[in-house]
Amino acid sequence: MSTSERKFATRCIHAGYRASPASPAVVAPLVTSTTFLLDDASYAHMLAGRADEALIYTRLGNPTLDVVQERLASLEGTEHALVFASGMAAIHAALLACLPRGGGIVAHRELYGSTWDLMVNVLAPYGIRTTLVDLDDPKARKEALAQHKPQVVYCESVSNPTLHVADLPAIASDAHAVGARMLVDATFASPALQRPAEFGVDLVIHSATKYLGGHSDLTAGVVAGREEDLRGVYRWLQLAGGCLDPHSAALLERGLKTLPLRMRAHCANASALARHLAAHPKVAQVLHPSLAAHRSHATAKRVLPDFGGMLSFVVKGGDEAALRCVRALELALEASSLGGVETLVSLPFNTSHARFTPAQRAEAGMPPGFVRVSVGVEDLADLVADFDQALAR
């Protein structure tokens, strides 16, 4: 049986590398060399513009990165994958590979703050127009696509931090109808819960810093898709220099092995904690797709096998009350990032969405008192007790 025919959990461990007499190490070797011996075949690849097909220089390719890229492509069900030094490097390369000068993006209005900043503030001076719309509204989506005729339609599979679950099949279909490429940041879902390429998405992006790495000890990004679509992405990787260090690639390769186990625990804890907080008298609102009251609950049941390890909630009393709650936590840690085994909490108003005005945060579904929680894999009873005592302060 070929690796591609094996189940997801098996591919998390074995895709991309297997010990053999020629390479007997059970764990894929860490190749730290920045450069490699050249020969006639190397020169031929460089002269043909296919430096990615030869071992030349680690910015262009490295055996440790190759293992991780092959495994990620297997997990996403795509032809290929490229790893980057960060999730933002991956987003930047994927966007620019698909956008001509003066091109356009139609994006979901609920986005990670740095993605919004890149699109709205950084790319705009280069003539790239970004239109933010509710992609979950079929009428608004079709009107925006017809009017702006973008080259890229962009959303997050599960939005950061409002947990909106995108109807990827419908959005991808409408994007392709106007000749646009569909790009999706699937960080919150991970391939353990969703493979967006199966829904027609052209390029799948991850901050591998999060669930793919899983231990809050590496920074990396991923773009996965068809070989043809990744050629332009590789060009940006090659020349903008956002390459992943082999040490981080080795940590990522290790983290992928336990992805299914961790995601089951994250999802179970998040769903249970969401139900508990929803009944708390000091909580005004809880956002988690497992809750029937969440606006994406029906979509989530259709496009996800489970509801994810992220949740958000709104503390009564606004941002000051939320900050007091967060500071009173004794187990969960007040820190940015997400997807590690430990529970992390943050307030978007002073972290991920600090560049938003209060009105922009409210329009994007983040009222005062909004707290984002990356639910870890600790014992659920301990997490519930910690949030209860913090809310009681």
Query: What pLDDT band is residue 51 in, cutting at 50, 70 and 90?
Result: confident
Write down the pLDDT at residue 26.
Answer: 97
Same domain, 191 and 86: yes
Clarify whether residues 154 and 211 are in a common domain: yes
Residue 51, domain member (yes or no) = no
> Is 26 part of any domain?
no
pLDDT tens, 149-188? 999 999 999 999 999 999 999 999 999 999 999 999 999 9
pLDDT band, very low/low/confident/very high, at 387 (cuts 50, 70, 90): very high
59 is catalytic: yes
Pair 74, 3: CB distance under 8 Å:
yes
60: in domain: no
The string of pLDDT tens digits covering residues 299-355 is: 999 999 999 999 999 999 999 999 999 999 999 999 999 999 999 999 987 877 878
In terms of domains, do 93 and 200 share one?
yes
pLDDT at res. 352: 78
267 and 366 fall within a common domain: yes
Number of domains in the chain: 2
Catalytic residue (choose from 141, 210, 262, 361): 210
In DSSP notation, 230-260 reads HHHHHHHHHHH--BPPHHHHHHHHHHHTTHH
Does residue 271 sit in the same domain as residue 360?
yes
Structural domain ending residue among the three candidates 202, 219, 243: 243
Average pLDDT, integer, range 258-282: 98
> Looking at the predicted structure, is the pLDDT value of residue 135 above 80?
yes
Q: How far is CA 45 from the centre of its chain?
A: 32
Answer yes or no: do 109 and 189 share one domain. Answer: yes
The answer to whether residue 214 is domain-embedded is yes
Percent of the chain past pLDDT 70, that is, above it, reads 100
Same domain, 238 and 177: yes
Flag whether 36 is in a domain. Answer: no
The confidence band for 22, taking pLDDT boundaries of 50, 70 and 90, is: very high
pLDDT tens digit sequence for 98-132: 999 899 999 999 999 999 999 999 999 999 999 99
Residue 222 predicted with pLDDT over 80: yes
Give the pLDDT of residue 358: 85
Whether residue 29 is preceded by a cis peptide bond, meaning omega within 30 degrees of 0, is: no
Q: Decide: 307 and 267 in contact? Cβ < 8 Å.
A: yes
Active-site option among 185, 202, 245, 386: 185
Using DSSP, state whether 75 is helix, strand or coil: helix
Supply the pLDDT for residue 360: 84
**Do residues 182 and 204 touch, judged by C-beta distance below 8 A?**
no
Angle, nearest 10°, between helix axes 259-278 and 380-391? 40
The one catalytic residue in 112, 154, 211, 234 is 112
Residue 255 pLDDT > 80 = yes
Q: From CA 223, how far away is CA 246, in angstroms rounded?
A: 17
Tens digits of residue pLDDT in 63-103: 999 999 999 999 999 999 999 999 999 999 999 999 998 99
- pLDDT tops 80 at residue 2: no
- Catalytic, out of 6, 52, 57, 59: 59
According to DSSP, the β-strands at 333-334 and 152-156 are unpaired
Q: Which of 251, 191, 189 is nearest to 65 (CA)?
A: 251
Lookup: tokens for 35: 């450069």
Give the structural domain span for 81. Answer: 65-243
278 and 385 fall within a common domain: yes
Q: Which residue has the tokens 């513009």?
A: 49
Q: Where are the beta strands (DSSP E) in the chain?
A: 80-84, 104-108, 129-133, 152-156, 181-185, 203-207, 221-225, 283-287, 310-315, 333-334, 344-346, 370-374
Q: Are residues 230 and 99 in the same domain?
A: yes
State residue 319's pLDDT score.
93
Instruction: Please report, for the domain that includes residue 375, its CATH number.
Output: 3.90.1150.10
Q: How far is CA 109 from the centre of its chain?
A: 17
pLDDT band of residue 212 (cuts 50, 70, 90) is very high
7 SS3 class: coil
Q: What's the whole-model pTM score? A: 0.96
**Is residue 346 in some structural domain?**
yes
State the chain's mean pLDDT as an integer.
96
112 is catalytic: yes
Q: Are residues 204 and 343 in the same domain?
A: no
Is 217 labeled as catalytic in the residue annotation?
no
Quote the CA–CA distance of 289 and 306 in Å, as a whole number.
9
In a domain, 20, yes or no: no
Find the Cα–Cα–Cα–Cα dihedral 58, 100, 126, 185, rounded to 10°. -60
Asked if residue 197 belongs to a domain, the reply is yes
Considering the domain architecture, whether residues 77 and 185 belong to the same structural domain is answered as: yes
pLDDT of 354 reads 78
Do 119 and 148 lie in one domain? The reply is yes
Helix and strand numbers (H, E) in the chain are 14, 12
Q: For residues 166 and 111, what is the distance between their CA atoms, to the nearest angstrom?
A: 12
